[in-house]
């Protein structure tokens, strides 16, 4: 079985996606991207900042009802849009990579 090589850009994008998605486990992301879990862990250690976005940023606690202002809601939505665009771009690059790999 041939060894797969990934570009540094793909690796950094995968790590950024992991760090900006607190609800996603490393196993789930590795499966989604089509890479080995251990490989993704190595990338996270090598390229990661060591800080994942906390899940409390995007969800409020059920113990204390909070009033979300329009500005706060817009910031949350903009953050989510950035994360989704990043995920989309990574998946596009992965699809392009794998499509090129199958052209013999």
3 occurs within a structural domain: no
Rounded to whole angstroms, the Cα distance separating 102 from 90 reads 19
DSSP 23: T
76 occurs within a structural domain: yes
Look up the domain containing 24 and give its range: 8-54+63-101
Residues 27, 37 contacting (CB under 8 angstroms): yes
Q: What pLDDT score was predicted for residue 84? A: 93
Assign 22 a pLDDT band (cuts: 50, 70, 90): confident
Q: Token pair for residue 66?
A: 């909070």
39 occurs within a structural domain: yes
Residue 76 has pLDDT above 90, yes or no: no
1 occurs within a structural domain: no
Assign 85 a pLDDT band (cuts: 50, 70, 90): very high
Rounded to whole angstroms, the Cα distance separating 91 from 88 reads 5
> How many domains does the chain fold into?
1
24 occurs within a structural domain: yes
The CATH number that applies at residue 13 is 1.10.10
Residue 63 has pLDDT above 50, yes or no: no
Residue 20 has pLDDT above 80, yes or no: yes
Residue 61 has pLDDT above 60, yes or no: no
> Which among 28, 21, 3 is positioned nearest to 87, based on CA atoms?
21
């Amino acid at each position: 079985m041939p060894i797969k090589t990934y570009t540094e850009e793909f690796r950094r994008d995968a790590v950024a996606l992991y760090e900006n998605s607190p609800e996603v486990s490393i196993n789930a992301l590795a499966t989604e991207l089509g890479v080995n879990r251990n490989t993704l862990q190595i990338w996270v250690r090598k390229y990661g900042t060591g800080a994942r976005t906390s899940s409390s940023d995007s969800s409020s606690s059920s113990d204390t009802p909070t009033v979300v202002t329009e500005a706060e809601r817009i910031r949350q939505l903009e953050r989510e849009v950035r994360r989704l665009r990043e995920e989309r771009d990574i998946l596009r690059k992965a699809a392009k990579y794998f499509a090129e790999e199958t052209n013999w």
